[in-house]
Chain A
């Protein structure tokens, strides 16, 4: 298997408190794969994304993307930075810049020449059915529209991979469903590699090719599930429910749910 993103023996602990966030994580993601990382709140899944995006430097372990090392044994390896798209839990758009300007700023920072911006912005807004909103202020958009702008921004910079940190968890159920389907459609059309973090088992099963299970914090990866259901998938598909049911049993033990039910 061709390992596009490779994380080996990775550990990270918070510098000020020394509390470990993730421990001995091994993980590989193939090019063009939709990978989900499933773990309970506070298990360090966001930390993993922050390391992959270059925000945090891990104290131990190795991270390579497309055979370029990013981190090696606690050091940031000085090589050409890998362009990465990131969707946070909230859209994180600059409210004082229009939708188009928000994307333009990402393009500018990614080094795209200015005369290409217009075309890239237009095509990506079109892809996400946002072409009407190019000059709108983010605060005048709905939550779902803002999330779509954030998707457009992360795709526009032609990233090596896109990281998503529970991007739909703050949206209402119906909007969330639409966006998940839309995201899968975009993923198939663009062939981009996506690492998607969630605590929702159903969401992870519905979206992913491979699914990594993490323990409660400090997070360790304890399982890798391959979801080989054909696409396009239906969110209500009984086969998804079946896999979900099986995973719930595996996961609840590890997430310490039964600890709280000890007899008095």
Chain B
């Protein structure tokens, strides 16, 4: 047996029987009802707020139109690229800083005020200052995104590193573990929860901020187009494009982050994450 191959756990796996399928139906019902309820509330509101709130039907046609005409694709690509770059940079940067803060008393005391300030700074302020200092260009947008998101990543990772069990660390010292083994088998499994939480948060927060950045600085990207449609008084397009972007981001969040989290934490007795 080798340490690298995680053997499958001995867990009494209940077979998938009819009661499981019933359970699935019961679990699926509330979200379906939620969507139906949202549409039921939406429709009368369109009368109240006429002509500024479009009907679901109108949004659906705009939605289809955006994809059929292909208008949305280049903007979607631009926004996704920005989210991806900001996500990668702030996750790496935040993880390194957070880890360092969690392991060193000095770095903890030194960086805490910076992180506190970073956490408290409102997103638009960061965006405005980034543009003032760096001008209206792609770099200033990315810098603003990274500066806005990183403190949150730092904070989550730092808390995770602080929570590392000192008892287990003593055990590894007594058994004379070497450093690489300590990192891989002791530290990483303990902080992987917060690393995942931090990455997921960076993503979720990043795609919200990116729309503000774009709306304030450019007409390219989903956010830029939203402010453009807003000025043209095309609420149906605003809703349709927002929905598209939101659906994609939620799907990524659910499929990528939630799924891999479940797989990685199979060792937890109640893997209900």
Residues of A in contact with B (beta carbons under 8 Å apart): 50, 53-55, 81, 83-84, 86, 88, 90, 92, 94-98, 100-101, 104-106, 108-110, 114, 117-118, 121, 132-137, 139-140, 153, 157
Residues of B in contact with A (beta carbons under 8 Å apart): 1-3, 6-11, 167-168, 170-178, 181, 185-186, 189, 267-269
Closest chain B residue, CB of each to CB of A139: B269
- Identify the interface centre among B178, B181, B185, B269: most chain A CB within 10 Å of its CB: B185
Contacts of A137 in B (CB 8 A): 9-11, 267, 269
7 contacts between A and B (CB under 8 A): A86-B171, A92-B167, A97-B3, A104-B2, A105-B3, A105-B185, A139-B267
**B167 touching A110 by the CB < 8 A rule?**
no
Closest chain A residue, CB of each to CB of B7: A135
- Identify the interface centre among A81, A104, A118: most chain B CB within 10 Å of its CB: A104
**A90 touching B6 by the CB < 8 A rule?**
no
Contacts of A109 in B (CB 8 A): 172, 175-178, 181
Contacts of B9 in A (CB 8 A): 98, 135-137, 140
**Min C-beta distance of B123 to chain A, whole Å:** 36
- Identify the interface centre among A104, A108, A109: most chain B CB within 10 Å of its CB: A109
A157 contacts which of B7, B10, B167, B175 (Cβ < 8 Å)?
A: B175
**A84 touching B2 by the CB < 8 A rule?**
no
Closest chain A residue, CB of each to CB of B171: A92
**B175 touching A121 by the CB < 8 A rule?**
no
A104 vs B5: C-alpha distance in the bound complex, in angstroms? 12
- Identify the interface centre among A86, A92, A117: most chain B CB within 10 Å of its CB: A92
B177 contacts which of A53, A55, A105 (Cβ < 8 Å)?
A: A105
Contacts of A104 in B (CB 8 A): 1-3
Contacts of A135 in B (CB 8 A): 7-10
A5 vs B267: C-alpha distance in the bound complex, in angstroms? 39
Contacts of A54 in B (CB 8 A): 173-174
A139 vs B181: C-alpha distance in the bound complex, in angstroms? 22
**Min C-beta distance of A48 to chain B, whole Å:** 14
Interface of B is mostly: loop
**Min C-beta distance of B139 to chain A, whole Å:** 40
**B7 touching A98 by the CB < 8 A rule?**
yes
**B185 touching A140 by the CB < 8 A rule?**
no
Contacts of B2 in A (CB 8 A): 104, 114, 117
**B1 touching A100 by the CB < 8 A rule?**
yes
Closest chain B residue, CB of each to CB of A157: B175
Contacts of A98 in B (CB 8 A): 6-7, 9
Contacts of B177 in A (CB 8 A): 105, 109
**Min C-beta distance of A179 to chain B, whole Å:** 19
Contacts of B168 in A (CB 8 A): 92, 94
Contacts of A95 in B (CB 8 A): 267-268
A132 vs B173: C-alpha distance in the bound complex, in angstroms? 29
**Min C-beta distance of B39 to chain A, whole Å:** 44
Contacts of A117 in B (CB 8 A): 1-2
Contacts of B268 in A (CB 8 A): 95, 139
A88 vs B10: C-alpha distance in the bound complex, in angstroms? 26
A121 contacts which of B1, B6, B10, B181 (Cβ < 8 Å)?
A: B1
A153 vs B168: C-alpha distance in the bound complex, in angstroms? 14
Contacts of B178 in A (CB 8 A): 109
**B3 touching A90 by the CB < 8 A rule?**
no
A100 vs B7: C-alpha distance in the bound complex, in angstroms? 9
Closest chain A residue, CB of each to CB of B176: A109
A261 vs B111: C-alpha distance in the bound complex, in angstroms? 52
Contacts of B173 in A (CB 8 A): 54-55
Contacts of B185 in A (CB 8 A): 94, 97, 105
Contacts of A106 in B (CB 8 A): 175
Contacts of B11 in A (CB 8 A): 137, 140
A108 contacts which of B3, B8, B10, B170 (Cβ < 8 Å)?
A: B3
A140 vs B12: C-alpha distance in the bound complex, in angstroms? 11
A88 vs B7: C-alpha distance in the bound complex, in angstroms? 26
Contacts of A140 in B (CB 8 A): 9-11, 269
Contacts of A139 in B (CB 8 A): 267-269
